[in-house]
Amino acid sequence: KLPTRWPVNNAVLIVPEHIWAKISHADARNTFRNDPPLVGTGPMIVSEFQPGQFVRLASNKYFRMGQPPMAGMILNLFNTADPIAQGLKSGNLDYGYGITSAQWEDLSNHSDIRVGQSRVE
């Protein structure tokens, strides 16, 4: 098996005890809103979150691999794959995931769009 960075780059969140100790598992999965600033070690820091709309990220100057070259990014949130595929086609989105196989096939036929696959370990 090839080496992996999984222990460093996985999706396990840091959950400080002083914030999470009194939050039930059910509340954590449903009603608890963990507002910024959040604890983390990634290249970006959540600076604004609008549920069901977007997450605004700012560059983390303390990131272990150096500060990212961009000032930040916005992750738009969608309920279905259609607006993602449409946004990629129109150029309004730079990145998208969760599209259907038919949309992936369609997007792969556009010379100005680069499609790829990824896996989660």
Note whether residue 51 is domain-resident: no
- Predicted local distance difference test score (pLDDT) of residue 23: 87
Note whether residue 25 is domain-resident: no
Note whether residue 72 is domain-resident: no
Cα 83 to Cα 15: distance, rounded to the nearest angstrom:
32
Instruction: Using alpha carbons, list the distances in angstroms from residue 37 to 19, 49, 56.
Output: 12, 10, 12
Note whether residue 33 is domain-resident: no
pLDDT of 79 over the 60 cut: yes
Q: What is the pLDDT of residues 15-24, one digit of tens each?
A: 788 888 888 8
In the chain, helix, strand, coil percent, each to 5? 25, 15, 60
Q: What are phi and psi of 47, to 5 degrees?
A: -110, -20
Note whether residue 39 is domain-resident: no
Q: DSSP strand E in the chain: where?
A: 44-50, 54-59, 72-76
Note whether residue 116 is domain-resident: yes
Number of domains in the chain: 1
* Residue span of the structural domain in which 108 resides: 79-121
**pLDDT mean across residues, the chain:** 83
Note whether residue 66 is domain-resident: no
Kindly report the pTM of this predicted structure: 0.63
Q: What is the pLDDT of residues 27-71, one digit of tens each?
A: 888 888 777 777 777 889 888 889 889 999 999 998 888 999 999
